């Protein structure tokens, strides 16, 4: 009896040893690259979904510090915490990071270590909305494609901040404290691929100077812009979406040729001080002119002539492309000018 028991314990032990060996063998066969143990580590404060091993979720946890980021991570979600600083150390192994969401924290410029961001050589998206930044952080990784800085207190852009960001396509600086003096001659130089620039809700009185040549979307709502210089649009020949709602534009503040710019498809000028319908191009499709001081609309005056480029004639056989027009909140005496359709035959929505 005793011998039998002794034997079965031995059998169990041997079985366990064999089993352990075969598990290790299977593991070794599946992972020939010899994963280090800490590749699968998960910071205690965070959640690491097994089905999405390149993501790290640390949001909404009242964190005051950034935990050490494992080297396998591509996507870091750490928004809505109490983080004040971005030191270099937690990121020293995080060389694969593509995406960092640090929105809704308490980060100041003094809290960002000099090399903390620029060491992330593959970073594409950086979200720092709703923090306490007073400057655009610098230096930034050259690989960056989107920089989201809405709702900080940014009033300064250090020299050279953008000069190497050749892949940046989107720069969002809305709801900050930018004044006209934030821009130097070369502030935007180097942003070869910038397509969307948002500076709504700042304290600009002038149009930002020398914008990148590929800008397609320019959002400047809720500033105090009074005028647009002559030839302003020559340096941004691709601008298609232009928003200037809630500014102080008057008739005399417009360029001599108005908005007769063939690239512009969507023009928003609500809540300004225009008394006349501005000049537009036959290419324009959407126009917001509501809440100005326009008194009358004479269609034979505002109707844009077809473009003179011969190849484009067919496109304009139905007249100018305008299909949406808002004119409500002006001082136009009824009856509303229904002969608008004589010029804008594609008009589908007219709000007066």
Identify the residue among 43, 53, 57, 93 touching ligand NAG (CB under 6 A).
Answer: 93
In the list 92, 96, 134, 251, the residue contacting ligand NAG (rule: CB under 6 A) is 92
Residue with smaller CB distance to ligand NAG, 141 or 255: 141
Minimum CB–partner distance for residue 21 and ligand NAG (Å): 27
Binders of ligand NAG among residues 164 to 223 (CB under 6 A) are 166-167, 200-201, 221-222
Strands (E), the chain: 55-57, 75-77, 99-101, 125-127, 146-148, 170-172, 196-198, 217-219, 241-243, 266-268, 286-288, 324-326, 349-351
- Given the complex with ligand NAG, which of 71 and 323 has the nearer CB atom? 71
* Nearest alpha-carbon partner for 63 in 88, 40, 90, 38: 90
Provide the minimum distance between the beta carbon of 94 and ligand NAG in the complex, in angstroms, as a whole number: 8
Please report how many Cα atoms fall inside a 13 Å half-sphere around the Cα of residue 232, on the Cβ side. Answer: 20
Does 295 bind ligand NAG (CB under 6 A)? Our answer is: no
Residue whose structure tokens are 């050279």: 160
Three-point CA angle 213, 189, 153, nearest 5°? 105
H or E stretch covering 14: helix 2-30
Candidates 25-33, 76-84, 297-305, 309-317; binding stretch for ligand NAG (CB under 6 A): 297-305
Could you tell me which of 341, 338, 344, 343 has the C-alpha nearest to residue 352?
Answer: 338
Among 7-15, 88-96, 275-283, 311-319, the segment contacting ligand NAG (CB under 6 A): 88-96
Q: For the CB of residue 130, give the shortest distance to ligand NAG in the complex, in Å.
A: 15
Stretch that binds ligand NAG, among 90-98, 177-185, 258-266, 307-315 (CB under 6 A): 90-98
Instruction: Give percent helix, percent strand, percent coil of the chain, each to the nearest 5.
Output: 20, 15, 70
**Total residues found in the chain within this entry:** 352
- What is the total count of residues that contact ligand NAG (CB under 6 A)? 18
Distance CA 260, CA 230 (A): 12
Q: Determine the interface stretch with ligand NAG among 4-12, 43-51, 252-260, 296-304 (rule: CB under 6 A).
A: 296-304
Residues 283 and 303 sit within 8 Å (Cβ to Cβ): no
Per DSSP, helices labelled H in 129-266 are none
DSSP codes, 198-218: E--SS--SSPPSS--TT--EE
Q: Are 99 and 124 in contact (CB under 8 A)?
A: yes
146 lines the binding site for ligand NAG (CB under 6 A): no
CB of 16 to ligand NAG, least distance (A): 31
CA distances for 37 relative to 22, 26, 40, 41, 223, angstroms: 19, 16, 6, 7, 53
The reply on whether position 246 binds ligand NAG by CB under 6 A is yes
* 126 half-sphere exposure, CB direction, 13 A CA radius: 27
Minimum CB distance to ligand NAG, residue 10 (Å):
40
Q: Shortest Cβ distance from residue 116 to ligand NAG (Å)?
A: 12
Closest approach, Cβ 221 to ligand NAG, in A, equals: 4
Q: Which is nearer to ligand NAG, 188 or 283 (CB)?
A: 188
Site string for ligand NAG, 24-53 (x = CB under 6 A): --------------x---------------
Residues in the site for ligand NAG, rule: CB under 6 A? 38, 68, 89-90, 92-93, 142-143, 166-167, 200-201, 221-222, 246, 298, 300-301
């Amino acid at each position: 009896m005793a011998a039998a028991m002794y034997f079965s314990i031995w059998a169990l032990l041997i079985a366990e040893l064999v089993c352990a060996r075969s598990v290790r063998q299977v593991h070794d066969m599946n992972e020939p690259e010899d994963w280090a143990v800490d590749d699968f580590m998960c910071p205690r404060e965070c959640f690491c979904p097994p089905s999405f091993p390149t993501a790290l979720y640390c949001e909404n946890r009242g964190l005051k510090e950034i935990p050490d980021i494992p080297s396998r991570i591509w996507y870091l979600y750490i928004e809505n915490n109490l983080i004040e600083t971005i030191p270099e150390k937690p990121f020293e192994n995080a060389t694969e990071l593509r995406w960092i969401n640090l929105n809704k924290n308490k980060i100041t410029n003094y809290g960002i270590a000099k090399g903390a961001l620029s060491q992330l050589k593959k970073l594409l998206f950086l979200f720092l909305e709703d923090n306490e930044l007073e400057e655009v952080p610098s230096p930034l990784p050259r690989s960056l494609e989107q920089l989201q800085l809405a709702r900080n207190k940014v009033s300064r852009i250090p020299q050279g901040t953008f000069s190497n960001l050749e892949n940046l396509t989107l720069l969002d600086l809305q709801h900050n404290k930018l004044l006209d003096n934030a821009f130097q001659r070369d502030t935007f130089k180097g942003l070869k691929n910038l397509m969307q620039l948002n500076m709504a809700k700042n304290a600009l009185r002038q149009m930002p100077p020398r914008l990148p040549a590929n800008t397609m979307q320019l959002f400047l709502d809720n500033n105090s812009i009074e005028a647009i210089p002559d030839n302003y649009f020559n340096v941004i020949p691709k601008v298609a979406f232009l928003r200037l709602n809630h500014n102080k534009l008057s008739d005399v503040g417009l360029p001599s040729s108005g908005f007769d710019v063939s690239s512009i498809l969507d023009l928003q000028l609500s809540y300004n001080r225009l008394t006349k319908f501005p000049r537009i191009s036959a290419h324009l499709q959407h126009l917001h002119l509501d809440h100005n001081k326009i008194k009358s609309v004479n269609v034979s005056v505002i109707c844009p002539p077809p473009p003179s480029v011969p190849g484009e004639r067919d496109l304009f056989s139905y007249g100018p492309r305008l299909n949406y027009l808002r004119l409500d909140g002006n001082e136009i005496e009824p009856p509303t000018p229904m002969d608008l359709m004589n010029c804008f035959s594609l008009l589908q929505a007219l709000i007066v």
